[in-house]
Each structure stands twice: as structure tokens, then as C-alpha cells.
Amino acid sequence: MKLNELSDNPGATKKRKRVARGPGSGMGKTAGRGIKGQKSRSGVSINGYEGGQMPLYQRLPKRGFTKPNRKDWAVVNLGLIQKFIDAGKIDGKKAIDEDVLVASGLVRRKLDGIRVLGKGEVTGKLELQVTGASKSAIEAVEKAGGKLTVKAPKDAAAAE
């Protein structure tokens, strides 16, 4: 087989419809938009417009609240930490803090802090220092003979 003999499966690709390219294309002149009217013009956005009637999204009641200063955690499961230790990307004998997790590539960025969740198994003794942890994560680490320390976030320490 040569490069010039390569081809896609029949029907796998479809040519793009090019509108307003003459009468022979079947989509010439008005380009499928019909004649006159608001929808035939360019620069029209009428989604959700109901002809002057109060739109549905304004008629329905609003509920809930979005907290403006909500914390955004980077979440890590214990099983993933153990997997990275087994792979040699994290040294399990030393204390593992947030900077180590970021440097190993397990977490992309800290955000407001790293929160450890208890999914997965821990085999060795771990010494973790993170901003947040679930009860199941703390129990799992202590059960394996390790220690999980939850430290206050930087902004909380500055406020005190």
C-alpha cells in the first residue's frame, strides 16, 4: 500500500454545504433562508424572543444562591496517591504536601487548596499535609499507620 492509495471508508466523510454559490449548487440566491423577514437578514439573534410577550425564562421563578466566595478545591483520591507512590513519582517515605503533589503531576494546580478523598487503598505509611480531607480519607491513612494533617488555607490564616 502506498500513500496515494489511502482513502477513507465510503460515507465516512461528507462535503461541507457551501451556500450562496450560484443557482447550480441548489443553495444559491437566498441560501436556504427564504425571502425577506428578520430571519433572512444577518446579525439577528432571536433565541428566546417571544414577540414581545414576557419570555419563559423570565416568567419562571428563580431559586437558589451562588456563593460568591465559594472555595474551589483540587480533589485527589487516596488510591491515586498510592498509585503515584508505587510508580515512583512520589517518595512515600518523606512527608507529602501540596507542592509535592503538584510537582509529581498528580494535581495540575492547587486552586484554593487540595482536598484528599478516601477512595482507593493505602498500603504504606503516609504522612500527608493538605488543606482538606474527608473523614474516610483520614481514617484510611491512620489505619495504614500513617498521619494525615489538615492545615488551614492561606487566606484563613491571613484573616486571623
Question: Residue 112's domain is classified under what CATH number?
Answer: 3.100.10.10
Give me the percent of the chain exceeding a pLDDT of 70. Answer: 95
* Domain total in the chain: 1
In a domain, 134, yes or no: yes
Domain coverage including residue 91:
74-159
Question: 36 in a domain, yes or no?
Answer: no
Residue 49 pLDDT greater than 60, yes or no? yes
Q: Is residue 114 part of a domain?
A: yes
Q: pLDDT-based confidence at 156, cuts 50/70/90? A: low
Query: How many angstroms separate the CA atoms of 142 and 126, rounded?
Result: 9
CA 126/CA 92 separation, integer angstroms: 6
Q: Which residue has the higher pLDDT, 92 or 5?
A: 5
Position 90 scores a pLDDT of 84
The answer to whether residue 118 is domain-embedded is yes
pLDDT above 90 (res 125): no
Residues β-bridged to residue 147: 127
Q: Is residue 8 part of a domain?
A: no
Sign of CA dihedral 119, 125, 128, 134: positive
Q: What is the pTM of this model?
A: 0.57
Asked whether the predicted pLDDT for residue 3 surpasses 90, the reply is: yes
Does a structural domain hold residue 58? no
Domain contains 47: no
**Containing H/E element for 85?**
helix 78-86
Residue 92 lies in a domain: yes
Question: Residue 127: CB partners within 8 Å, gap ≥ 6?
Answer: 94, 95, 96, 146, 147, 149
